[in-house]
Amino acid sequence: MEYCKNCQRLVEGPICKFCRNTKLRAPLDADFCMVAELPYFEAEMLKELFGDNGIPCTERSVLGAGITVNLGANLDRVRLYVPYDRYAFAKELFDSYFNGTEPTDEPEGEAEEAPRKAEIGRVYRHFKGGLYRVEGVAKHSETLEEYVVYRQMYGDESLWVRPAEMFLSPIDREKYPNAMQTYRFEAVEEQDAETPDSVD
């Protein structure tokens, strides 16, 4: 297993199947690894179980804190992360907690993941190379269609808006067969991001 620092997951092979990162490395004991993505209340119960067994655990909201505050925690999904040196034990507890099977809405292997959401405050790389920070998610006043508001992190740092469906969409492989990413915009860790001076 290799460690992807971008999405904090253990993955097989030379490319992370979640974010298409190619800079994978062997996991270190202190690396926090995603062990589960669950609905909010199930995640809270599992987090308590980890705490009772001495496993440090951090969490990240899938929707983001701002949206969760407005919509309520019960609509959110939470990703739980544990240090690599406790990962095997945490996974064992997770499996036993769900009677040896993962919950039906938990993605496994090649199964489809939960719908992608633009996370406010996260940095995303456009498949052509530019870096952008999501500033917010807005709704069209007439159609109620969701739009992602994002700021380029180079040049004049201008603000842009794009339909959320397009922002989160996969790349058109017929039009861009050599693209290195799966999606038009993919989240990256800000400290790992190299900001270009300009983008074509």
Q: Using an 8 Å Cβ cutoff, are 96 and 88 in contact?
A: no
Q: Kindly give the pairing relationship between strand 131-139 and strand 146-152.
A: antiparallel
pLDDT bucket at 74, cuts 50 / 70 / 90: low
What does the domain layout of the chain look like in residue ranges?
Answer: 2-97, 123-192
Place of tokens 């300009």: 198
pLDDT digits (tens, 9 = 90+) for 47-66: 999 999 999 999 888 766 55
Which two tokens mark 33? Answer: 């690894």
| DSSP label of 170 | B
Q: Using an 8 Å Cβ cutoff, are 108 and 64 in contact?
A: no
Q: Is 185 exposed, middle or buried (0-12, 13-18, 19+ CB in 10 A)?
A: buried
- Specify whether domain 123-192 bears CATH 2.30.30.320: yes
| DSSP label of 175 | T
Which two tokens mark 151? Answer: 């700021």
Q: Using an 8 Å Cβ cutoff, are 149 and 138 in contact?
A: yes
Place of tokens 């009677």: 99
pLDDT bucket at 124, cuts 50 / 70 / 90: very high
| DSSP label of 94 | H
pLDDT bucket at 192, cuts 50 / 70 / 90: low
Residue 197 is predicted with a pLDDT of 46
Cα–Cα distances in angstroms (integers) from residue 7 to residues 33, 143, 185, 200, in the given order: 9, 33, 14, 27
